[in-house]
Structure 1
């Protein structure tokens, strides 16, 4: 058995990787076991989450041992570790973040950090919130269920029209252990909208389109161009319209389109009220 105590202290990144390579080679030997005591997030993030043992002091002063573990079936550690890696959650995040905010996909993953910082005055990381995209993936719900089961705080933020998505049906959310009144937010539903993009005003959309995807000279975008597309799949309709009518450039997709709008906002009041309310709730959960 080989025991290391803070082996990468004071080393630069290149030599930290060298130490990790040495440890991996030792672990690969059939007759060798290795224990590493470390506070290094780089080192913690460099191994399988199932191999991480987290030691912490309880309020009573006793040492508690935490690890990614569940006895529901064989291989659960590997399974959940793979899911966590797929949605971009590092080992250190799984161990230390106070709240996990799950969103639908790349649009939210790109835009929510900007919107949260503008609304709340600090970045997600500083608030102790880890953001991850479900990508309409049932595996993400398994991870959410695992986190809830082990008393971690989780909030799921999805578009109102996701109620029809087979992965986000009410019975599946309940099965995952999520409290539908406190841990699930359907974006737009309270205002009769279907999706995140609809929360932004037609004036905001027109301003973004004029700045990023201008129409032929003398034909600026107006709020009315966007108002006429309300009521259906708003994001798809306006994306198609912009691509058809823009003079030269056009957004690469829905994520690029909304990010262009969001990047133009400068005050908290420009962030839709429903999002500000959700961000306040998530920040309170993280505290």
Structure 2
């Protein structure tokens, strides 16, 4: 590099590499201009030197009047929006690598990549925060990409399933402990949230930010609703901000709902259709509690002509569940006819429970 007879050729090669990199950065500059309309001129000037390798790629932007903008002194919102454009451009690069490698042998597959964000939505308005979340989701769908986001933002945390939230805490020996959800079931999620709440010194109600309380009658609802909701919405009740409360019976559910309405909390009351026969569920009485009968009260099974939630499950589903959970003494098994016999308009759940207790 110090040989005068070589310096000229070395400088030519450096210049050629710089020009190539600058041309490859054109798509990034274009992307930034789309995001930040106030900047009409955006340039990336890569710096490559054989004496020092790749030194950097400073970004230069200017406004419509030609004034250069010092990004170190620009507002945090502007620099964050430029960063957002860079992240989107990075997503496109990762996606392009994935497409280019499709159908190719394993040796040419794209490199496994970890993308790390540190408080990415700071100083961004809600619209751009949603864009950040969209970028993260887009990158997570690529098989060769994993994404880690360090954040205190409730908006970002609310945007992912609770199973993907890792709580980092400092152990007594000064080492960092990562706590992940161990059991992706309703009770396991509650336990995970409780641990986080305890370590942060928060009450569960503060941590959960419940969007809605769901008051139900009893065990069948408590066991089945978390599973049914996950099947329908592909997320847990807790991830959607729904707190499920079993209240022993329809009157208990009504008392809880009335209390929550009185304290101006969002609540949904879900009871069996046969609750209509209970005098506490007369229209006038419900209206006095402050419940909106159209929006906040649901009588399960009524639209299908059933009396209760348990009747909504088919005889075949009951048979499969009974043979798994409450089998008869071998070689006997449960059959759909065993459950069909109790669908005569009387209390189906009570009669099925009695049958299982006697024969299982």
TM-score (norm 1): 0.51
CA contact (8 A) 2:250 2:271 kept: no
CA contact (8 A) 2:272 2:300 kept: yes
Q: Does 1:153 align with 2:266?
A: yes
Task: Report the counterpart of residue 188 of structure 1 in structure 2.
Answer: 301
**1:124-159 deviation digits (Å, cap 9, x = unpaired):** 110011111233476764553354355532110001
Alignment CA distance shift 1:121-1:235 (3 Å): same
Distance in 1, matches of 2:247 and 2:294, equals 20
Distance in 2, matches of 1:134 and 1:186, equals 16
Distance in 2, matches of 1:171 and 1:41, equals 40
| Pairing of 1:37-56 with structure 2 (within 5 A) | 41-42=197-198, 43-45=201-203
Task: Report the counterpart of residue 25 of structure 2 in structure 1.
Answer: none
RMSD: 2.9
Task: Report the counterpart of residue 232 of structure 1 in structure 2.
Answer: 346
Higher relative contact order (CA 8 A, sep 6+): 1
SS at match of 1:124: coil
Distance in 2, matches of 1:151 and 1:191, equals 32
**1:76-126 deviation digits (Å, cap 9, x = unpaired):** xxxxxxxxxxxxxx4326x82111111112332233222212222110110
| Pairing of 1:1-287 with structure 2 (within 5 A) | 41-42=197-198, 43-45=201-203, 90-92=204-206, 96-136=209-249, 141=254, 143-149=256-262, 151-230=264-343, 231-246=345-360
TM-score (norm 2): 0.41
Alignment CA distance shift 1:139-1:229 (3 Å): closer
In structure 2, runs of 5+ residues without a counterpart are 1-168, 173-195
In structure 1, runs of 5+ residues without a counterpart are 1-9, 14-39, 46-89, 247-287
Distance in 2, matches of 1:112 and 1:195, equals 14
Distance in 2, matches of 1:160 and 1:140, equals 14
Alignment CA distance shift 1:121-1:106 (3 Å): same
Task: Report the counterpart of residue 145 of structure 2 in structure 1.
Answer: none
Pairs aligned (count) = 167
